[in-house]
Structure 1
Amino acid sequence: MNFKKSVVLIFLLAYSTYSIAQITNTKKDSIYIQQVEDHKEPDKVLHAEPLYIDLIRDLGARKGEKEWNLGLGLTDNLKFDAYEALIEYEWAPIDRLGFEVELPFTFYSPQSGVNRDSIPSNSLNSIKIATQWSFFVNEQMATSMAIGYINEFELSDFREFGSPFIKGNIYNPFFIVAKRWGNNFHSLVYTGPMIEQNFSTNTFHTTYDINTSFHYMITGTRNFIGVEFNKTFDYGAFDMTIRPQMRLGIVENLLIGIVAGIPVSKENERLSSFVRLIWEPKHKEN
């Protein structure tokens, strides 16, 4: 895979989508904003959700909402390629409260001349369960806030699967604040610590993530272009990956997100790509 061409293709597709939307849509207000916010209870603000570090459920989720995600990614490392795959289901049993279950897999392929035994083993990385509560939703301010928690049961890789079955746990509380500026511009901050516990040694390792994102949603559509900045602080060390991205509606209730990853300070990681397929089954509205 030619990663430079992938990044260029993403922006060419985004520009083409923007041009077509500007020509065919002369309405000032976004149709999708009206669909989400107007004449429905409880209040909900339309926000552009980042595609790589995604939310547990929409901010201000309404009872009955649900969504399936299928993700596929490729990361180019110096010694191996890492292929990501994930499946997740998220739903809102009551207004403003969301839950999610995710199964993330990683498969590794050595670079030419590299011994397979020297690279990580394929694995079902973990079983992730999460919840998110939107405690502040203000349509006039176009602002939403939420707190949440992800619990990740880390599993042994396929070489040693079951010995033990669960090797550790990650505790991840987080806070989200998002604001829409006018009809089209969106910003969001997603932040919190990740506390990893190793059961065999009963040791803990803590890192802190600050993920910021900025998006432009095409008027009258669900399509957007934007960028994520995924930042991690680890005992004085700092890593950041810039992820330009775009989302396109394929058919009603089915969208595709395309993401490129550009590491800024990761020594062993090169460019990456990620695709997320999003299906939102219809639900009864209040």
Structure 2
Amino acid sequence: MNLKKLLMLILLLVSSSYAIAQITKAKKDSIYIQQVEDHKEPDKVLHAEPLYIDLIRDLGARKGEKEWNIGLGLTDNLKFDAYEALIEYEWAPINRLGFEIELPFTFYSPQSGISRESTPSNSLNSIKIATQWSFFVSEPMATSMAIGYINEFELSDFRSFGNPFIKGNIYNPFLVVAKRWGNNFHSLIYTGPMIEQNFNTNKFHTTFDINTSFHYMVTGTRNFIGVEFNKTFNNADFDMTLRPQMRLGVAENLLIGIVAGIPVCRENERFSSFVRLIWEPKHKHN
């Protein structure tokens, strides 16, 4: 066999191996997507859900789905460190409708040379209840849309807890639009106003959030890497935090999400980190 024929044979073997690998990859992706988008139940599209500003329930939620989340975070501010902790439970009582209850805590630690009295008080920030309805789900278009509402009862901090017990309320309607591009790439936008009412003064303050995210889901798995762009408009002020992130499956129904926070346009906040533990108990299919 001369050199030319040998090179042609090697090239043929390499190209064949690559083609087989691509077919296997596509097959794995399609099999995993099919597990979510089977036609025995109402339509549902597989989307990558952002880890920091997460959804109330999966888009196109199916009856009986439920999920527990535990989150832990650290934010480095100029004068103190803020430690976040949250526990939340979400479930779908009927197809495409989800509910959530969340208890978010914040604990503060002053930086060196800063007195504790000058830092905010530790607190159970609020009691959050929320709902979300997926009004559009299209498997052929790989697109889902939902509207939702979060009501947040703001509580007094631990220094003055119970005086009053509820100091204000936050009204937060929102819209979600998500699209999967091919088998692996995902995009999502989550947007809406946050209207805060102070019960002492009965004054209202409104900000507007636009949160966009982009993810790449690893072939045949639930693992992904991606980024959130969390943007807030507050009158003439604009804040944005870049949050690169990854999600890993550690067991069949157990996932862990890791998020870094990089402030782009924030005056007092520095780097932050956040970890989310996600447990999805098994549910009966319709």
Q: Normalising to structure 2: TM-score of the pair?
A: 0.91
Q: Which residue number corresponds to residue 221 of structure 1?
A: 221
Q: Which residue number corresponds to residue 160 of structure 1?
A: 160
Instruction: Give, in whole Å, the separation in 2 of the partners of 1:129 and 1:32.
Output: 32
The alignment status of 1:191 with 2:214, answered yes or no, reads no
Instruction: Give, in whole Å, the separation in 2 of the partners of 1:261 and 1:60.
Output: 29
Instruction: Give, in whole Å, the separation in 1 of the partners of 2:80 and 2:40.
Output: 50
Deviation at 1:41, TM superposition (A): 1.2
Deviation at 1:57, TM superposition (A): 0.1
Instruction: Give, in whole Å, the separation in 2 of the partners of 1:226 and 1:27.
Output: 20
Instruction: Give, in whole Å, the separation in 1 of the partners of 2:54 and 2:277.
Output: 12
Query: What percent identity do the matched residue pairs reach?
Result: 87
Q: Which residue number corresponds to residue 242 of structure 1?
A: 242
Q: Which residue number corresponds to residue 55 of structure 2?
A: 55
Instruction: Give, in whole Å, the separation in 2 of the partners of 1:225 and 1:26.
Output: 21
Deviation at 1:34, TM superposition (A): 1.4
For 1:198-217, list aligned pairs within 5 A.
Answer: 198-217=198-217
Q: Which residue number corresponds to residue 26 of structure 1?
A: 24
Instruction: Give, in whole Å, the separation in 1 of the partners of 2:233 and 2:216.
Output: 28
Deviation at 1:40, TM superposition (A): 2.9
Instruction: Give, in whole Å, the separation in 2 of the partners of 1:40 and 1:82.
Output: 46
**Contiguous gaps of at least 5 residues in structure 2:** 1-20
Deviation at 1:267, TM superposition (A): 1.1
Larger Rg: 2
Q: Normalising to structure 1: TM-score of the pair?
A: 0.91
For 1:20-99, list aligned pairs within 5 A.
Answer: 26-29=24-27, 30=29, 31-99=31-99
**Contiguous gaps of at least 5 residues in structure 1:** 1-22
CA deviation profile, 1:90-114 (whole Å, cap 9, x unmatched): 0000000000000000000000000
Deviation at 1:119, TM superposition (A): 0.7
Instruction: Give, in whole Å, the separation in 1 of the partners of 2:191 and 2:174.
Output: 5
Instruction: Give, in whole Å, the separation in 2 of the partners of 1:78 and 1:142.
Output: 43
Instruction: Give, in whole Å, the separation in 2 of the partners of 1:190 and 1:167.
Output: 27
- Which one is further off, 267-276 or 33-42? 33-42
- Which one is further off, 37-46 or 127-136? 37-46
Aligned CA RMSD, in angstroms, stands at 1.2
Deviation at 1:38, TM superposition (A): 2.0
Q: Which has the higher contact order (CA 8 A, sep 6+)?
A: 1
Structure 1 segments, 4+ long, off by >4 Å, are none
Deviation at 1:26, TM superposition (A): 3.3
